[in-house]
Amino acid sequence: MEHYVNRRSRFPSQSSVNTQNCTIWARENPFQMQPLPLHSRKITMWSGFTTAFIVGAFFFEEIRPAGPVTCAINGTRYESFLRNQFIPALQQRGRVDSTIFMEYGAPPHIATPLKQLLNLNFGNDRIISRHFPTACQPLLPDLNPCDFWLWGYLNAAVYGHPIATLAELKTHITQHIHQ
């Protein structure tokens, strides 16, 4: 039986210093400013892994005339993602019947159609999530290996050099996931 854990993470296109928590002492003009947009461009990525393999990276985005745009994860998008991308990826590896599926139970994770999909594919006894017999404590990053290891590893690996575009960011993340 393989324990499968998953989580989503947001990756901004640029890594910058949080000046709210940082004092910079310099001999130059202390009033120099570096203009930044209110919200940086970012991607929302989902990945998960067992002791044997990593599934992902999957990016949540909508295709618009100007190109792909990062979108929020809601119950409908998450269920569609699991049905059309994640579960087929597990089926290709022949691992659906040996997987214990764990998620922390955010509102998109407990929508009724999603719970039915998870029950159909994993059975009630192989799901660790809120509103299932084996509940997972919400938002405990030290208990979720994606938070504990994967996101930190990817941040360190991907932001080792400047990233110019979101497409480049996605490429770097995908390359590091599959190494």
Residue-wise pLDDT tens digits, 156-168: 888 888 888 888 9
pLDDT at 39: 67
pLDDT at 143 over 80: no
Q: What is the value of pTM for the model shown?
A: 0.73
pLDDT at 91 over 90: yes
pLDDT at 138 over 60: yes
Q: Which domains does the chain have, with CATH numbers?
A: 2-10+40-178 (3.30.420.10)
Position 14 confidence tier, pLDDT thresholds 50, 70, 90: low
- Say if CB 46 and CB 56 are below 8 A apart: yes
